């Protein structure tokens, strides 16, 4: 039952066209416009957080795929003939442990992902006609764990929006940080980005998130990262993937790259 998963009193996704629902959409749109993101704290109710964490814990500890890679902030392959300080040449390391949706079929998170008003709410906020679930049992929802010393390093997203929900905050570190205004669709600002990557990191915003908070972030032109986790508790987050077109699935190569396998369990 969805009312046992999300706080519908506070966030009436089931009555989006009503007065309160419309107010929520308006607030989220305003926050996206002004800051490039919005947060709904307490979105997942405490019992659902516990259930989500509990039913992914064994998979995270024993059956997750450790995704470790070196990348630049654009996730682009190296280009030859560039100056030594070009941001494409700067390498960062990212490590996380991923559990795919076919490993946690009975999890409340799957129920939330498949509940049509959730995608309808996200579409309404993003002002697009419809968002569709992926046609991909592995990739559509991922639970990611970051252990001590691990991080999602600085990068720009390739998709317009990312929808995540924090399930467990670490004792220390693991903070979401971002820097706006470094580039636009028409100005790549390589010099400014090179300076930032060299250590001139003013104007970084750090967002303390609590477990149960839904976060929608527009990261295509906003540099962002998750700082290294400290302490024995993992940072655990779930990523929901929806697309404007129906029937989207990752290729075999993408799945092997992200998850180490392409066959559904």
Comparison of 13 and 209: residue with beta carbon closer to Fe ion: 209
Listed in sequence order, the residues at least 6 apart from 17 whose beta carbon sits closer than 8 Å to its beta carbon are: none
Supply the DSSP string of 25-88, one letter for each residue.
HHHHHHHHHHHSEEEETT-B-HHHHHHHHHHHHHHHHHS-EEEEEEE-TT-----TT--TT-GG
Residue 98 belongs to what H/E stretch? strand 92-100
CB of 257 to Fe ion, least distance (A): 16
Find the shortest distance in angstroms from Cβ 73 to Fe ion.
Answer: 10
Least Å from the CB of residue 162 to Fe ion? 5
The DSSP output letter for 211 is: T
Among residues 111 and 157, whose Cβ is nearest to Fe ion?
157
In whole angstroms, the minimum distance from the beta carbon of 68 to Fe ion comes to 17
3-state secondary structure of 207: strand
Cα dihedral 19, 213, 42, 39, rounded to 10, equals -40
Number of C-beta neighbours around residue 164 at 10 A: 18
Q: Tell me the residue number closest to Fe ion, measured at CB.
A: 157
Question: Among residues 200, 160, 205, which one has the least CA distance to residue 35?
Answer: 205
Q: How far apart are CA 168 and CA 210, in angstroms?
A: 8
Task: Measure the CA–CA gap between 32 and 40, rounded to whole angstroms.
Answer: 12
CB 99 within 8 A of CB 142: yes
Non-local (6+) Cβ contacts of 20 within 8 A are: 12
Q: Which is nearer to Fe ion, 219 or 228 (CB)?
A: 219
Name the residue nearer to Fe ion (CB basis): 71 or 233. Answer: 71
Nearer to Fe ion, 170 or 219 (CB): 219
Least distance from Fe ion to the Cβ atom of residue 24, Å: 24
Q: Interface with Fe ion by CB under 5 A: which residues?
A: 157, 219
| Minimum distance, C-beta of residue 160 to Fe ion, in the bound complex (Å) | 11
Q: Which is nearer to Fe ion, 121 or 154 (CB)?
A: 154
Give the residue with the Cβ less far from Fe ion, 56 or 153.
Answer: 153
Q: How far apart are CB 116 and Fe ion at their closest, in Å?
A: 26
């Amino acid at each position: 039952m969805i009312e046992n998963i999300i706080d519908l009193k506070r966030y009436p996704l089931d009555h989006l066209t009503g007065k309160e629902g419309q107010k929520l959409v308006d607030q989220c749109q305003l926050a996206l416009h002004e800051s490039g993101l919005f947060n709904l704290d307490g979105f997942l109710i405490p019992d659902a957080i516990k259930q989500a964490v509990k039913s992914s814990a064994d998979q995270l500890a024993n059956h997750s795929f450790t995704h470790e890679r070196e990348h630049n902030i654009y996730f682009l392959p190296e280009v030859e003939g560039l100056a030594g300080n070009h941001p494409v040449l700067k390498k960062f390391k990212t490590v996380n442990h991923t559990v795919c949706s076919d490993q946690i079929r009975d999890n409340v998170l799957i129920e939330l992902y498949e509940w049509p008003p959730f995608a309808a709410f996200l579409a309404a906020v993003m002002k697009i006609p419809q968002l569709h679930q992926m046609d991909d049992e592995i990739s559509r929802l991922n639970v990611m764990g970051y252990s001590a010393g691990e991080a999602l390093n600085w990068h720009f997203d390739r998709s317009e929006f990312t929808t995540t929900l924090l399930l467990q905050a670490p004792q220390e570190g693991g903070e979401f940080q971002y820097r706006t205004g470094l580039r636009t669709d028409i100005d790549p600002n390589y010099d400014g980005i090179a300076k930032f990557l060299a250590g001139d990191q003013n104007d970084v915003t750090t967002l303390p998130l609590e477990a149960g908070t839904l976060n929608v972030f527009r990261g295509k032109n906003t540099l962002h990262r998750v700082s290294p986790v400290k302490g024995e508790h993992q940072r655990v987050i779930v990523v929901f993937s929806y697309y404007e077109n129906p029937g989207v699935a990752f290729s075999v190569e993408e799945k092997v790259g992200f998850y180490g396998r392409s066959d559904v369990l």
